[in-house]
């Protein structure tokens, strides 16, 4: 009798554990889908500004979206055609120089530790297999959201077509959202949605301008210092600066490693250049290009990026700050203005 009860308890525990595992997997997939839809919504908001500008000039929304997509494809294609030879060469230089740079840095660290009487095992530097494992680990973490070809294609479809349809036909979606609220609250709901869109557009426009200027300044600085692959690293620095503060730290790491491997003085110049660029961005660009757009405290930025990245990975990091902008508008409109 006791054995039968024990077996039933064990079976129940296994079934509960299996059910919890299925629930976890389901919620993880739901979270990934929600993040993809949020990214599509963010792109739709960005696309809505030029669509509205063309629509005010009597261009139909569907035609406006098609024109913007064609213009973006032409600009990206032309830029890729013009810059591809230089970028391909610089990416090749960067890929060839990075393993040697890491090996030299490890060797210098071991020699310094040895001079201080500290022995570090595992001599011989970094082998190509170790580097390959590290690259695979990083790429695995960055692309973990797209664990298979099917999920990657699904995400690509969402990113491409959700903004297209939302920008071409926004009113049915807005009406549906507004109808979720009581009739007396619907005008207020439209006002809050409009305010959130305006703040998000202001923040996005400011970030894009700031990213472009940071990329140009970083490219010029790295070229003058003599770091290999200055154009590629400058573009990388501009792209990662989409996330304020955190992106600035991420952008300085690759050029700093290459500079330190060649000449430690160059490493100091790289740090000084990026600190100067960060000061220009924080004290000149942000106040100038943001103007009336939402301004977030650095602590809010760091907290939101940390929480978003820990909970949802790379995509959560990218969406954390825009989500904080919208949350700030909602708190201000629905709470602060109400109690004041």
**Mean pLDDT calculated for residue range 206-231:** 90
Confidence band of 123 (pLDDT split at 50, 70, 90): very low
> What pLDDT shows up at residue 202?
86
Cβ–Cβ under 8 Å, residues 258 and 228: yes
Confidence band of 121 (pLDDT split at 50, 70, 90): low
**Mean pLDDT calculated for residue range 117-127:** 53
Helices 186-225 and 230-240: angle between axes, nearest 10 degrees: 160
On the question of pLDDT at 162 being above 60, the answer is yes
> What pLDDT shows up at residue 132?
47
On the question of pLDDT at 122 being above 60, the answer is no
> What pLDDT shows up at residue 125?
45
- The better pLDDT of the pair 105, 81 is held by 81
Chain center to CA of 24: 25
On the question of pLDDT at 139 being above 60, the answer is no
**Mean pLDDT calculated for residue range 200-217:** 89
Confidence band of 273 (pLDDT split at 50, 70, 90): very high
Cα separation of 218 and 150, whole Å? 37
What six digits make up the tokens of 13?
Answer: 């525990």
pLDDT mean across residues, the chain? 79
Structure letter (DSSP) for residue 295: -
Cα separation of 233 and 224, whole Å? 13
- State pLDDT tens for residues 49-72: 889 888 888 888 888 888 988 988
Confidence band of 138 (pLDDT split at 50, 70, 90): very low
**Mean pLDDT calculated for residue range 165-190:** 88
Cβ–Cβ under 8 Å, residues 186 and 179: yes
> What pLDDT shows up at residue 146?
46
Structure letter (DSSP) for residue 124: S
> What pLDDT shows up at residue 222?
92
Confidence band of 142 (pLDDT split at 50, 70, 90): very low
Is 238 exposed, middle or buried (CB count within 10 Å of its CB: 0-12, 13-18, 19+)? buried
- State pLDDT tens for residues 285-308: 777 666 545 567 778 888 888 888
Cβ–Cβ under 8 Å, residues 94 and 86: no
Alpha helices in 118-185 (DSSP H): 128-142, 149-168, 170-178
> ∠ at Cα 122 (119, 124), nearest 5°?
110
- What ranges do the domains of the chain cover? 11-339
Chain center to CA of 18: 34
Cβ–Cβ under 8 Å, residues 277 and 217: yes
Cβ–Cβ under 8 Å, residues 308 and 319: yes
- The closest alpha carbon to 218, from 239, 230, 235, 234, belongs to 234
> What pLDDT shows up at residue 1?
54
Structure letter (DSSP) for residue 229: T
Helix or strand run (H / E) with residue 11: helix 2-55
On the question of pLDDT at 102 being above 80, the answer is no
| Block residue for tokens 């959560």 | 316
Length of the chain (residues): 340
């Amino acid at each position: 009798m006791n054995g039968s009860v024990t077996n039933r308890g064990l079976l129940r525990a296994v079934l509960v554990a299996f059910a919890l595992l299925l629930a976890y997997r389901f919620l993880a997939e739901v979270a990934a889908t929600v993040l993809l839809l949020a990214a599509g919504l963010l792109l739709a908001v960005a696309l809505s500004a030029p669509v509205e500008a063309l629509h005010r000039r009597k261009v139909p929304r569907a035609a406006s979206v098609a024109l913007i997509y064609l213009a973006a494809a032409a600009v990206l294609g032309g830029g890729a055609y013009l810059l591809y030879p230089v970028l391909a060469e610089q990416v090749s230089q960067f890929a060839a120089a990075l393993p040697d740079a890491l090996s030299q840095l490890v060797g210098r660290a071991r020699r310094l530790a040895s001079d201080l009487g500290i022995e570090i095992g595992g001599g011989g530097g970094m082998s190509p297999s170790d580097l390959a494992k590290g690259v695979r680990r990083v790429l695995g973490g960055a692309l973990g959201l797209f664990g298979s070809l099917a999920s990657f294609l699904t995400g690509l479809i969402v990113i491409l077509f959700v903004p297209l349809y939302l920008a071409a036909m926004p009113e049915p979606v807005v009406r549906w959202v507004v109808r979720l609220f009581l009739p007396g609250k619907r005008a207020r709901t439209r006002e809050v949605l409009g305010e959130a869109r305006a703040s998000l557009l202001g923040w996005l426009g400011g970030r894009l301008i700031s990213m472009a200027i940071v990329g140009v300044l970083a490219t010029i600085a790295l070229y003058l210092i003599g770091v290999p692959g200055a154009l590629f690293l400058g573009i990388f620095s501009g792209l990662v600066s989409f996330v304020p503060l955190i992106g600035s730290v991420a952008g300085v790491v690759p050029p700093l490693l290459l500079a330190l491997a060649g000449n430690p003085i160059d490493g100091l110049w790289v740090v000084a250049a990026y600190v100067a660029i960060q000061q220009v961005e924080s004290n000149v660009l942000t106040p100038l290009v943001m103007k009336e757009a939402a301004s977030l405290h650095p602590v809010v930025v760091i907290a939101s990026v940390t929480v978003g990245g820990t909970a949802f990975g790379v995509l959560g990091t990218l969406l954390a700050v825009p989500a904080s902008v919208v949350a700030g508008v909602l708190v201000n409109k629905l709470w602060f203005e109400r109690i004041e």
